[in-house]
Amino acid sequence: AGGTMGTLLQLARWGLLGRSPSLVQTARSLHCGERGGVRTAGSGPFPDNLVLQLSSPFQGVSSWIHVKEPPEPKEVDRWTEKRALFGVYDNIGILGDFQVHPKDLITGPSWLRGWRGNELQRCIRKKHIVGHRMFDQDYKNLNKRIRFLYKRFNRTGKHR
């Protein structure tokens, strides 16, 4: 940041004293460093989103900061099925004499319904419940994941 401010002060000083360098020299010193060279993305005194418009000192001060436009707000559908039915079963026990547990109303894979655990436990549970009817490649990938997680869990963590 110090180099950027120093360069701008130097340009202003040259413009005020009438010793303004040529536009080509100014552009070269700004975009390629003081010694010249190839400018790469993100190098030099200015970030890529700043644009410095060089003009003659006799034309006055030019606008030199280019600010990116803020993104357009996204259109969000507030009445999707997931959002509309969020929390619909929260009071099932109070309204239904506690005959149905909310975990029985969960939709999803059978080995995950109403069950908690880490990734290794989840993979082992999946292998025991649906492993016999999995495709060959999926079964091999699941075994590889179990082996990897087993090594990782036994190497690190508070569960050793």
For 99-138, write each residue's pLDDT tens digit: 777 677 778 888 888 888 999 999 999 999 999 999 999 9
Region of 12 please: left (phi>0), alpha (psi -120 to 50) or beta: alpha
- pLDDT recorded at residue 24: 47
Cβ atoms within 10 Å of 30's Cβ, excluding its own: 19
- pLDDT recorded at residue 80: 93
pLDDT score of 66 more than 90 = no
Distances (CA, A) of 14 to 4, 8, 22, 34, 80: 15, 10, 11, 16, 62
Q: Which comes out higher in pLDDT, residue 38 or 90? A: 90
Q: Cα 133 to chain center, whole Å? A: 37
pTM, to two decimals: 0.40
Q: What six digits make up the tokens of 77? A: 């559908």
- pLDDT recorded at residue 77: 94
- Tokens 């010249």 correspond to what residue? 36
**Taking residues 18-38, what's their average pLDDT?**
48
Kindly report the CA angle at 70 between 66 and 73, in degrees rounded to 5?
Answer: 165
- pLDDT recorded at residue 86: 87
